[in-house]
Amino acid sequence: MMQDIILEVRNLSKKFNLHLLGGKVITAFQEVSFVLRRGEFLGISGKSGSGKSSLIKCIYRTYLPTEGEIVYYPKNNGVPIDLAKCSDEKVIELRHKSIGYVSQFFYPIPRVSCLEIVSQALIQQGADKDEAKRKAKNMLLRLLIPEKLFDAYPSTFSGGEKQRVNIAQALVKEAELLLLDEPTASLDKTSKAIILEEILKLKERRVSAIGIFHDDEDLKRFADRILVLEDGKIKEVYKNDKNS
Protein backbone atom coordinates (compact mmCIF):
# COMPACT_ATOMS: atom_id res chain seq x y z
CA MET A 1 0.00 0.00 0.00
CA MET A 2 1.31 3.42 -0.91
CA GLN A 3 0.69 4.77 2.53
CA ASP A 4 3.12 2.32 3.98
CA ILE A 5 6.10 3.91 2.34
CA ILE A 6 7.46 7.13 3.74
CA LEU A 7 10.64 7.50 1.71
CA GLU A 8 11.76 6.20 -1.64
CA VAL A 9 15.35 6.82 -2.69
CA ARG A 10 15.96 6.14 -6.38
CA ASN A 11 19.38 6.01 -7.99
CA LEU A 12 20.79 8.66 -5.74
CA SER A 13 24.33 9.86 -6.36
CA LYS A 14 26.45 12.54 -4.76
CA LYS A 15 29.62 13.88 -6.31
CA PHE A 16 31.63 16.84 -5.05
CA ASN A 17 33.13 19.12 -7.65
CA LEU A 18 36.04 20.83 -5.93
CA HIS A 19 36.77 23.87 -8.10
CA LEU A 20 39.46 25.07 -5.75
CA LEU A 21 41.39 21.88 -6.40
CA GLY A 22 41.24 22.35 -10.11
CA GLY A 23 37.88 20.73 -10.59
CA LYS A 24 38.63 17.48 -8.81
CA VAL A 25 35.54 15.30 -8.49
CA ILE A 26 35.03 13.19 -5.40
CA THR A 27 32.21 10.69 -5.36
CA ALA A 28 30.56 10.22 -1.99
CA PHE A 29 28.15 7.52 -3.16
CA GLN A 30 26.41 6.38 -6.33
CA GLU A 31 23.22 4.72 -7.50
CA VAL A 32 21.80 4.21 -4.05
CA SER A 33 18.21 3.04 -4.03
CA PHE A 34 16.08 1.87 -1.14
CA VAL A 35 12.66 2.20 0.34
CA LEU A 36 11.72 3.11 3.89
CA ARG A 37 8.37 2.12 5.33
CA ARG A 38 6.40 3.99 7.91
CA GLY A 39 7.43 2.96 11.38
CA GLU A 40 10.54 1.23 10.06
CA PHE A 41 13.99 1.85 11.39
CA LEU A 42 16.71 1.50 8.79
CA GLY A 43 20.29 1.21 9.99
CA ILE A 44 23.18 2.20 7.75
CA SER A 45 26.56 0.67 8.31
CA GLY A 46 29.85 0.70 6.48
CA LYS A 47 33.43 1.69 6.89
CA SER A 48 34.55 5.24 7.44
CA GLY A 49 34.29 7.14 4.19
CA SER A 50 31.78 4.78 2.67
CA GLY A 51 29.28 7.59 2.17
CA LYS A 52 26.92 7.08 5.10
CA SER A 53 26.88 10.65 6.42
CA SER A 54 26.70 12.04 2.90
CA LEU A 55 23.64 9.95 2.22
CA ILE A 56 21.84 11.24 5.26
CA LYS A 57 22.90 14.79 4.53
CA CYS A 58 21.47 14.47 1.04
CA ILE A 59 18.14 13.39 2.44
CA TYR A 60 18.20 16.35 4.83
CA ARG A 61 19.30 18.54 1.90
CA THR A 62 22.43 19.78 3.60
CA TYR A 63 24.05 18.31 0.49
CA LEU A 64 22.57 18.79 -2.94
CA PRO A 65 22.22 15.39 -4.63
CA THR A 66 23.94 15.17 -7.99
CA GLU A 67 21.54 12.66 -9.50
CA GLY A 68 18.48 10.71 -8.50
CA GLU A 69 15.35 11.26 -6.47
CA ILE A 70 14.39 11.24 -2.85
CA VAL A 71 10.65 10.94 -2.80
CA TYR A 72 9.03 11.74 0.52
CA TYR A 73 5.44 10.70 1.12
CA PRO A 74 3.81 12.90 3.79
CA LYS A 75 1.30 11.12 6.00
CA ASN A 76 -2.40 11.11 5.26
CA ASN A 77 -1.75 10.65 1.57
CA GLY A 78 -0.08 14.01 1.16
CA VAL A 79 1.42 14.98 -2.20
CA PRO A 80 4.80 13.24 -2.67
CA ILE A 81 7.78 15.59 -2.68
CA ASP A 82 11.16 14.99 -4.30
CA LEU A 83 13.53 16.29 -1.64
CA ALA A 84 16.37 16.34 -4.14
CA LYS A 85 14.69 18.92 -6.32
CA CYS A 86 12.08 20.73 -4.29
CA SER A 87 12.38 24.40 -3.35
CA ASP A 88 14.42 25.59 -0.38
CA GLU A 89 11.21 26.92 1.10
CA LYS A 90 9.67 23.48 1.03
CA VAL A 91 12.71 21.97 2.70
CA ILE A 92 12.54 24.55 5.47
CA GLU A 93 8.90 23.72 6.01
CA LEU A 94 9.61 20.00 6.17
CA ARG A 95 12.55 20.46 8.51
CA HIS A 96 10.35 22.42 10.87
CA LYS A 97 7.41 20.08 10.79
CA SER A 98 8.26 16.60 9.67
CA ILE A 99 11.92 15.76 9.47
CA GLY A 100 14.31 15.67 12.39
CA TYR A 101 18.06 15.45 12.17
CA VAL A 102 20.78 14.56 14.62
CA SER A 103 24.09 15.54 13.13
CA GLN A 104 27.32 13.76 13.77
CA PHE A 105 29.02 16.81 15.16
CA PHE A 106 26.93 19.27 17.00
CA TYR A 107 27.88 22.90 16.41
CA PRO A 108 25.45 24.62 18.71
CA ILE A 109 24.44 28.17 17.96
CA PRO A 110 26.59 30.24 20.28
CA ARG A 111 25.08 32.09 23.23
CA VAL A 112 21.81 30.18 23.16
CA SER A 113 20.89 28.02 26.15
CA CYS A 114 20.15 24.35 25.59
CA LEU A 115 16.61 24.88 26.82
CA GLU A 116 16.10 27.50 24.15
CA ILE A 117 17.59 25.31 21.44
CA VAL A 118 15.23 22.50 22.27
CA SER A 119 12.12 24.65 22.74
CA GLN A 120 12.86 26.52 19.52
CA ALA A 121 12.39 23.25 17.64
CA LEU A 122 8.84 23.06 19.00
CA ILE A 123 8.06 26.74 18.51
CA GLN A 124 8.99 26.39 14.86
CA GLN A 125 6.27 23.79 14.62
CA GLY A 126 3.83 26.35 15.91
CA ALA A 127 3.74 25.34 19.57
CA ASP A 128 2.90 27.82 22.29
CA LYS A 129 5.99 29.21 24.06
CA ASP A 130 5.21 27.89 27.54
CA GLU A 131 4.10 24.52 26.26
CA ALA A 132 7.29 24.29 24.21
CA LYS A 133 9.41 25.09 27.25
CA ARG A 134 7.65 22.46 29.32
CA LYS A 135 8.13 19.72 26.75
CA ALA A 136 11.72 20.78 26.19
CA LYS A 137 12.51 20.55 29.91
CA ASN A 138 10.91 17.15 30.01
CA MET A 139 12.94 15.85 27.13
CA LEU A 140 16.20 17.23 28.48
CA LEU A 141 15.55 15.55 31.82
CA ARG A 142 14.78 12.26 30.13
CA LEU A 143 18.07 12.49 28.34
CA LEU A 144 19.79 13.10 31.65
CA ILE A 145 20.58 16.76 31.23
CA PRO A 146 20.18 18.16 34.75
CA GLU A 147 18.02 21.20 35.41
CA LYS A 148 20.97 23.31 36.49
CA LEU A 149 22.26 23.17 32.92
CA PHE A 150 19.04 24.34 31.28
CA ASP A 151 20.19 27.93 31.03
CA ALA A 152 23.76 27.06 30.14
CA TYR A 153 25.25 27.31 26.66
CA PRO A 154 25.93 23.92 25.03
CA SER A 155 29.15 25.25 23.58
CA THR A 156 30.55 24.84 27.10
CA PHE A 157 29.30 21.26 27.51
CA SER A 158 31.16 18.01 27.26
CA GLY A 159 30.90 15.98 24.06
CA GLY A 160 28.34 13.65 25.56
CA GLU A 161 26.19 16.45 26.92
CA LYS A 162 26.31 18.25 23.58
CA GLN A 163 25.19 15.12 21.83
CA ARG A 164 22.28 14.68 24.18
CA VAL A 165 21.10 18.22 23.56
CA ASN A 166 21.40 17.52 19.85
CA ILE A 167 19.24 14.43 20.23
CA ALA A 168 16.76 16.27 22.42
CA GLN A 169 16.04 18.91 19.77
CA ALA A 170 15.33 16.19 17.22
CA LEU A 171 13.25 13.89 19.42
CA VAL A 172 11.12 16.59 20.98
CA LYS A 173 9.82 17.58 17.61
CA GLU A 174 7.34 14.80 16.90
CA ALA A 175 8.69 14.43 13.43
CA GLU A 176 7.61 11.74 10.98
CA LEU A 177 11.10 10.97 9.80
CA LEU A 178 14.25 11.01 11.88
CA LEU A 179 17.73 11.10 10.42
CA LEU A 180 20.37 10.09 12.94
CA ASP A 181 24.06 10.39 12.25
CA GLU A 182 26.00 8.56 14.97
CA PRO A 183 23.67 9.66 17.77
CA THR A 184 25.40 7.51 20.38
CA ALA A 185 28.96 8.36 19.42
CA SER A 186 30.23 10.30 22.44
CA LEU A 187 28.09 8.55 25.04
CA ASP A 188 28.84 6.08 27.81
CA LYS A 189 27.03 2.78 28.06
CA THR A 190 24.24 3.97 30.34
CA SER A 191 23.49 7.04 28.29
CA LYS A 192 23.54 4.98 25.11
CA ALA A 193 20.95 2.69 26.53
CA ILE A 194 18.69 5.55 27.57
CA ILE A 195 19.00 7.24 24.20
CA LEU A 196 18.19 4.07 22.33
CA GLU A 197 15.19 3.55 24.61
CA GLU A 198 13.87 6.98 23.76
CA ILE A 199 14.42 6.46 20.07
CA LEU A 200 12.75 3.06 20.08
CA LYS A 201 9.77 4.56 21.91
CA LEU A 202 9.07 6.52 18.76
CA LYS A 203 8.08 3.34 17.01
CA GLU A 204 4.85 3.52 18.92
CA ARG A 205 3.97 6.63 16.95
CA ARG A 206 4.96 5.03 13.65
CA VAL A 207 7.90 7.37 13.31
CA SER A 208 10.39 6.21 10.72
CA ALA A 209 14.11 6.58 11.17
CA ILE A 210 17.37 6.16 9.35
CA GLY A 211 20.33 5.81 11.65
CA ILE A 212 24.09 5.46 11.35
CA PHE A 213 25.76 3.59 14.20
CA HIS A 214 29.38 2.60 14.21
CA ASP A 215 28.80 0.45 17.26
CA ASP A 216 27.44 -2.88 16.08
CA GLU A 217 25.50 -3.51 19.24
CA ASP A 218 23.70 -0.18 18.99
CA LEU A 219 23.02 -0.85 15.33
CA LYS A 220 21.49 -4.19 16.11
CA ARG A 221 19.29 -2.78 18.85
CA PHE A 222 18.07 0.02 16.63
CA ALA A 223 17.52 -1.39 13.17
CA ASP A 224 14.74 -3.42 11.55
CA ARG A 225 16.79 -3.61 8.39
CA ILE A 226 20.40 -2.79 7.76
CA LEU A 227 21.84 -1.23 4.62
CA VAL A 228 25.56 -1.74 4.12
CA LEU A 229 27.54 0.75 2.08
CA GLU A 230 30.98 0.01 0.67
CA ASP A 231 32.98 2.46 -1.44
CA GLY A 232 29.89 4.52 -2.08
CA LYS A 233 27.71 1.68 -3.30
CA ILE A 234 25.16 -0.54 -1.63
CA LYS A 235 26.77 -3.82 -0.79
CA GLU A 236 23.71 -5.45 0.71
CA VAL A 237 20.46 -4.84 2.52
CA TYR A 238 19.29 -7.40 5.05
CA LYS A 239 16.74 -7.83 7.71
CA ASN A 240 18.01 -7.55 11.24
CA ASP A 241 17.10 -10.48 13.41
CA LYS A 242 16.92 -8.82 16.80
CA ASN A 243 16.78 -11.97 18.67
CA SER A 244 20.07 -13.39 17.54
Partner 1 sequence: MRDWILKVKNLTKIYGDGCPKCLESETNKCSFCKATIAVNSVSFTLYRGEILGIVGESGSGKSTLVRSLYFDITPTFGEVYLNGEERNIFDFNSEEKRRLRNFKMGMVYQNPFLGLNFEITAGGNVAEKLLMANWRNYFNIRRRIKELFEKTEFPLSRIDDFPSTLSGGMLQRVQIAKALANNPEIIFLDEPTSGLDLSVQARLLDLIKKIQHEFKISMILVSHDLGVIRLLADRVLVMKEGRIIESGLTDQILEDPQHPYTQLLVNSML
Q: Does the protein bind partner 1 through residue 19 (CB under 8 A)?
A: yes
**Cα torsion at 106, 111, 117, 123 (round to 10°)?**
-140
- Minimum CB separation from partner 1 for residue 62, in Å? 5
Contact with partner 1 (CB under 8 A) among 18, 25, 26, 141:
18
Q: Does the protein bind partner 1 through residue 105 (CB under 8 A)?
A: no
Question: Of the listed pieces 84-92, 138-146, 166-174, 205-213, which binds partner 1 according to CB under 8 A?
Answer: 84-92
Write the secondary structure of 136-176 as one string of H (helix), E (strand) and C (coil).
HHHHHHHCCCCHHHCCCCHHHCCHHHHHHHHHHHHHCCCCC
Q: Does the protein bind partner 1 through residue 125 (CB under 8 A)?
A: no
19/189 with CB nearer partner 1: 19
Residue 103: CB partners within 8 Å, gap ≥ 6?
166, 181
Question: Of the listed pieces 30-38, 83-91, 198-206, 223-231, which binds partner 1 according to CB under 8 A?
Answer: 83-91
Q: Does the protein bind partner 1 through residue 26 (CB under 8 A)?
A: no
**Cα torsion at 135, 138, 144, 146 (round to 10°)?**
100
Contact with partner 1 (CB under 8 A) among 40, 45, 56, 57:
57
The β-bridge relationship of strands 67-72 and 233-239 is unpaired
Q: Does the protein bind partner 1 through residue 16 (CB under 8 A)?
A: yes
- Residues forming beta bridges with residue 230, ordered by sequence position: 233
Contact with partner 1 (CB under 8 A) among 63, 153, 174, 233:
63
103/191 with CB nearer partner 1: 103
Closest CA to 218 of 243, 172, 183, 169: 183
Q: How many residues bind partner 1 (CB under 8 A)?
A: 22
CA 162 to CA 44: how far, in whole Å? 23
- Minimum CB separation from partner 1 for residue 1, in Å? 27
- Minimum CB separation from partner 1 for residue 157, in Å? 19
Burial class (CB in 10 A: 0-12, 13-18, 19+), 189: exposed
Interface with partner 1 by CB under 8 A: which residues?
A: 16-20, 57, 61-64, 88-93, 109-112, 120, 123
